[in-house]
Amino acid sequence: MPQYGMVIDLLKCAGCGACGLACKTENNTADRKDGQSHNWADYLIEVKGTYPNVTYTNYPVLCNHCSNAPCVDACPVEPKAMYKTADGITMHNDERCIGCLACQDACPYSVEDLDSSDAQYSVISYNEEGNKPHERYRDDSRLYAGTASGSDVAAAAGAIPPHQTAYRHPDYEAVRRAGIVEKCIFCDHRIKNGLLPYCVEACPSEARVFGDLDDPNSDIAKLLKAHRSIRLKEEEGTEPNVYYINRFKA
């Protein structure tokens, strides 16, 4: 059984945001409203030093799929809504979730209110209103009186305009209901079909590498052997499975 993880090469990352856009497109995440973030692929900006000796690092962040995941321990329902799969993914079951936010409170990487003074980035998001992807791009205009708008056509077809990715997964809905948490699942629905997570596929500089950490012949294992790597908040003892290598040095 593989043990999945991701390596992000900070020297290759251009900070373009393609990973975030790809994630929103693939997983139908909602727009940000009233301080709530629904970005499974987010960014942590780190600035250190004082002028003129300043370093700037852009860390692309996501769920770390920790081996010792506190969100799983904190989930109060049985069977758990937040759980670990045999291949190392921290998965979430939408049907069992009661929206108590215990997982979010336990996660050392998750900050829901990005406007708070100590906010850094989001990992586990709570969607109070439910997912309405691309809502602001809904087209209600009509070319002529009596003709259908884009929204009319989409409603008749049972789709969410202008696009939604429809995938089948035993635990995760393509469009989540209101009142539950949501987060990155390493695009488990894609992995099961032999595809890479969409953020990996969309990265124009190939800064993200996904694969089996336990396979010494995998690209990810070779990178970790060849480079010194870091993980975020390792002192928490969560054993994250997202690694960072290289850094731009001015």
* Domain span including residue 198: 4-127+151-245
Report yes or no on 146 lying in a domain: no
- Pairing assessment for the beta strands 42-50 and 125-127 based on DSSP bridges: unpaired
Do 66 and 239 form a contact (C-beta atoms < 8 A)?
yes
Long-range contacts of 111-116 (CB under 8 A, 24+ apart): 112/36, 112/37, 113/35, 113/36, 114/32, 114/35, 114/37, 115/35
Q: Give the three-class secondary structure for 200.
A: helix
Domain count, the chain: 1
pTM of the entire predicted model: 0.84
Q: In the numeric block, which tokens belong to residue 119?
A: 């906010």
Task: Identify the CA nearest to 84 among candidates 103, 112, 61.
Answer: 103
Query: Beta strands of 85-174 (E only): which ranges?
Result: 90-92, 125-127
Handedness of CA 54, 60, 61, 65 (dihedral sign): negative
The pLDDT profile of the chain, 250 residues, written as one tens digit per residue, is: 999 999 999 999 988 999 998 998 899 887 766 555 578 888 888 888 898 888 888 889 999 999 999 999 999 999 999 999 999 999 999 999 999 999 999 999 876 444 444 444 568 988 887 766 666 556 677 777 788 887 777 778 776 555 678 888 999 998 898 999 999 999 999 999 999 999 999 999 999 999 999 999 999 999 999 999 999 999 999 999 999 999 866 5
Report yes or no on 144 lying in a domain: no
Residue 228: what residue type?
Answer: R
pLDDT (0 to 100) of residue 161: 55
Phi, psi for residue 36 in degrees, rounded to 5: -85, 130
Report yes or no on 22 lying in a domain: yes
Report yes or no on 143 lying in a domain: no
Q: In the numeric block, which tokens belong to residue 142?
A: 């009509």
What's the CATH number where 35 sits? 3.30.70.20
